[in-house]
Structure 1
Amino acid sequence: MTEVHVRSMSPDEFDRWQTDLAVSYARSHVEAGNWPAEEALDRAREANAALLPQGMATPGMIFLVGALPDGAPVGHLWIGLTHPKGLAGCAYLYDIEVLPERRGQGLGRALLAVGEEAARQRGAAALELNVFGDNAPAVGLYRTSGYRVSTQQMRKDLRG
């Protein structure tokens, strides 16, 4: 596996990431049929603000940037040490992303592994995440990294 190191996100990186995250999260919800496009970005921003009332200083949140040994950036992770549903000992992976130009090189698996280790070092016994069903590359990565389906939502469009 490719070696990836992580470091804490800087405040400037956090600000850029928050903007990009809201756009990406909104798009995912629109594509999944959860939110209307005209409301999606506002809803994404509100959802993130609710999870991060103190921004980067919100307790129990880890914001990491992944890099190769030579310092070249790979991607980022956002992990909450407290599960949103209160599951004891279970951290929650809110976001992981490999930079588009770095995808397909095994770096997602390496980034996920260092994120798991960061959560483990902070006392987590498990790590849970949500993945949109149409994100086949991510589903495959998680499945082959030892994640199992714990809940599943399904939808059928009845309009036509």
Structure 2
Amino acid sequence: MTALTVRPMTPDEYAQWQTTIATEYAAEQVAAGRWAADGAVQRALDENAELLPDGLQTPRTLLLTAVDAAGAPVGRAWVSLDHPRGAPDVAFLYDIEVAEPHRGKGYGRALLAAVEQATRETGVGALELNVFGHNATAISLYGSSGYDVVTQQMRKAL
């Protein structure tokens, strides 16, 4: 497996990530037809602020930067050790991403494994995530990494 470790995000990484994740999340929600484009980025920023009221210091939260063998950042992850719908002993992976220039090198699988290990070390027994139906690469990665579909939402354009 590709060599990769995770470490806590720095304050500078966190500040940059806040803008990046809100923009990306808003675009995904708009593309999925769940949100209107107008105001979507602000809505994403507001939702994230509710989930991370103390930023990097938010309790029971892992905000991680993935680094390669040379120590260069190649990705990120955000895990809440408390499930958003209250499932007991289940953490929730809100965000995981390998930066574009580093994709296709095995970092996605390595990052997922590192996030699972960091979560396991907290004593939480399971990790759950959502994935958009159009993201075939991620769906394949999660399936081949042992994740099972526990709910499924479907839509048909009329």
Question: What's the TM-score bracket when you normalise by the shorter of the two chains?
Answer: over 0.9
Q: Tell me the distance in 2 between the aligned counterparts of 1:156 and 1:46.
A: 29
Where structure 1 has 5 or more consecutive residues not aligned to the other structure, the ranges are none
Deviations 1:104-158 (A, max 9, x none): 1110000000000000000110000001111111111111111010001111122
Equivalence for 2:104? 104
Deviations 1:56-106 (A, max 9, x none): 111111111111111122101101111111111111100000010000111
Equivalence for 2:39? 39
What RMSD, in angstroms, separates the aligned Cα atoms of the two structures?
Answer: 0.8
Equivalence for 2:147? 147
Equivalence for 1:21? 21
Equivalence for 1:66? 66
Structure 1 residues 66-145: aligned runs within 5 Å: 66-145=66-145
SS in 2 for 1:5: strand
Q: Tell me the distance in 2 between the aligned counterparts of 1:131 and 1:64.
A: 19
Q: Tell me the distance in 1 between the aligned counterparts of 2:154 and 2:99.
A: 29
Query: Which amino acid counterpart does residue 152 of structure 2 have in structure 1?
Result: Q
Query: Which amino acid counterpart does residue 130 of structure 1 have in structure 2?
Result: N
Where structure 2 has 5 or more consecutive residues not aligned to the other structure, the ranges are none
The sequence identity of aligned pairs, in percent, is 54
SS in 1 for 2:132: coil
Equivalence for 1:56? 56
Q: Tell me the distance in 2 between the aligned counterparts of 1:156 and 1:49.
A: 32
SS in 1 for 2:39: helix
Superposition TM-score, scaled by structure 2 size: 0.97
Q: Tell me the distance in 2 between the aligned counterparts of 1:70 and 1:41.
A: 34
Shift of 1:55: 1.4
Superposition TM-score, scaled by structure 1 size: 0.96
Shift of 1:39: 2.3
Q: Tell me the distance in 1 between the aligned counterparts of 2:147 and 2:155.
A: 22
Q: Tell me the distance in 1 between the aligned counterparts of 2:41 and 2:79.
A: 22
